[in-house]
Structure 1
Amino acid sequence: MVYLLKFGASWILPPGIFFLALWYVAWRLYKKREKGLAGMLAALVFVFYLLCTSLVSERVMGALEATYTPPENPQGDVIIMLGGGAFPDTPDVSGQGTLCSSPANRLLTAARLQRKLDLPIILSGGQVYSDSGPEAVIAKRILMDLGVPEEKIFVEGRSINTTQNARFSKEIMQEQGFTKPILVTSAFHMRRSVLNFEKCGVEVTAYPADYRVNTRHDFHYNKLKPSTSALEDNVLVMQEVLRALVTRYLE
């Protein structure tokens, strides 16, 4: 009964209510003998509906996230963690400014790897917009709160995209004599990140983190309910594919 209520509620709230409204419009057009227009509208709404279901998103996102698997025994001389957004003035335990959810998950993985391997960390990520936080600076404060020594943390705070993450991290590697980086970023972001580092002439060991979907995809009818989170995952995959094409062929 609980699952049925969840499924029903998804059609009362957005985006489900909009699908019902648009399918009603398509039905009214069909009744008025606008069969071509009605069919086209119904088909477009159906495609959009599929993009809002986890039935589709978990398979599409899962395929992207499966590109790389975390190695059991990663070997390297430095960890590079890529940023992914921060808030500049939100309250935190040791000051102001917090990481968004994805980079916070990346940071957790990077911190655990640092403790396991006792390697230095390069934190790569600057302030992208006027109202966003300096990612690497905030991440450094949190790492130090978690017990990582300051001398083992290198801050790269100039980059505002993945291309610059790779370029400016390489500069720090050359200055410090690092040659075998372990790259930590979100699993959905790893394929493009590796490509960017390769274009800069840096071979990395990929260590994906921040997984958004499970590796096993069991079916249940609630995966057919429309949700904004499923749409977000599908859009993320589309963005990654598009940006990878730009990186490979235009940059």
Structure 2
Amino acid sequence: MVYLLKFGAAWILPPGIFFLGLWFAAWRLYKKREKGLAGVLAALVLVFYLLCTPLVSERVMGALESAYEPPANPQGDVIIMLGGGAYPDTPDVSGQGTLCSSPANRLLTAVRLQRKLDLPIILSGGQVYSDSGPEAVIAKRILMDLGVPEDKIIVEGRSINTTQNAQFSTEIMREKGLKKPILVTSAFHMRRSVLNFNKCGMEVTAYPADYRVNTRHDFHYNKLKPSVSALDDNVIVLQEVLRALVTRYLE
């Protein structure tokens, strides 16, 4: 009963209610003998609906996230953690400013690797917008709260995208004689990140984190309910594919 209520609620709230309304509009057009227009509208709504289902998003996102697996025994001389957004003035335990969910998950992986391997960490990420936070600076404060020594933290606070993450982090590594980076970023972001570092002449050991979907995909009818989070996952995949093409062929 609980699952059925969840499924029903998804069709009362957005985006489900919009699909019902648009399919009703397509049916009305069909009844008015506007069959061509009704078919086009129904097909477009169907495609959009499928993009909003976990049934599709789990498989599409899962395929992207499976590009790399975390190595059992990573070897390197530095850990690089890529930023992914921060809030500048939200309250935190030791001050103001917090990381968004993706970089916060990346940081958990990075700090555990640091404790295991005793390597320095390069925090790569600047202030992207006037109302966003300085990612690397905020991440440094949190790492120090978690017990990472300050002399093990290197702040790269200029980059505002993945291309610059790779460029500026590579510059720092070459200045310090570091040659074997372990790259920590979200699993969905890893393929493009590795590509950017390769273009800078730097081979990295990929250590993906912040997984958005499970590796096992069991079917349940609730995976057919429309979901904003499923649409978000599908949009992320499309963005990653597009940006990877731009990186590979236009930059």
Is the structural similarity TM-score above 0.5? yes
Aligned to 2:159: 159
Poorly superposed stretches of 4+, deviation over 4 Å: none
Distance, in Å, in 2 between the alignment partners of 1:175 and 1:43 is 55
Aligned to 1:135: 135
Aligned to 2:220: 220
- CA offset digits 1:13-58 (Å, max 9, x no partner): 0000000000000000000000000000000000000000000000
Q: Is 2:93 aligned against 1:90?
A: no
Q: Offset of 1:137 from its aligned partner?
A: 0.2
Aligned to 1:234: 234
Q: Secondary structure at the match of 1:206?
A: strand
- CA offset digits 1:215-236 (Å, max 9, x no partner): 0000000000000000000000
Q: Offset of 1:174 from its aligned partner?
A: 1.0
Q: CA RMSD in A?
A: 0.2
Aligned to 2:81: 81
**Identity of aligned pairs, percent?**
89
Q: Which consecutive unaligned segments of at least 5 residues does structure 2 have?
A: none
Aligned to 1:58: 58
Q: Is 2:124 aligned against 1:124?
A: yes
Aligned to 1:200: 200
Aligned to 2:177: 177
Distance, in Å, in 2 between the alignment partners of 1:249 and 1:174 is 26
Aligned to 2:19: 19
Q: Offset of 1:181 from its aligned partner?
A: 0.1
Distance, in Å, in 2 between the alignment partners of 1:150 and 1:20 is 55
Q: Which consecutive unaligned segments of at least 5 residues does structure 1 have?
A: none
Q: Is 2:94 aligned against 1:67?
A: no
Q: Secondary structure at the match of 2:21?
A: helix
Distance, in Å, in 2 between the alignment partners of 1:212 and 1:74 is 22
Distance, in Å, in 1 between the alignment partners of 2:112 and 2:12 is 42
Q: Offset of 1:175 from its aligned partner?
A: 1.3
Q: Secondary structure at the match of 1:67?
A: coil
- CA offset digits 1:138-176 (Å, max 9, x no partner): 000000000000000000000000000000001110111
| AA at the equivalent of 2:168 | F
Q: Secondary structure at the match of 2:184?
A: strand
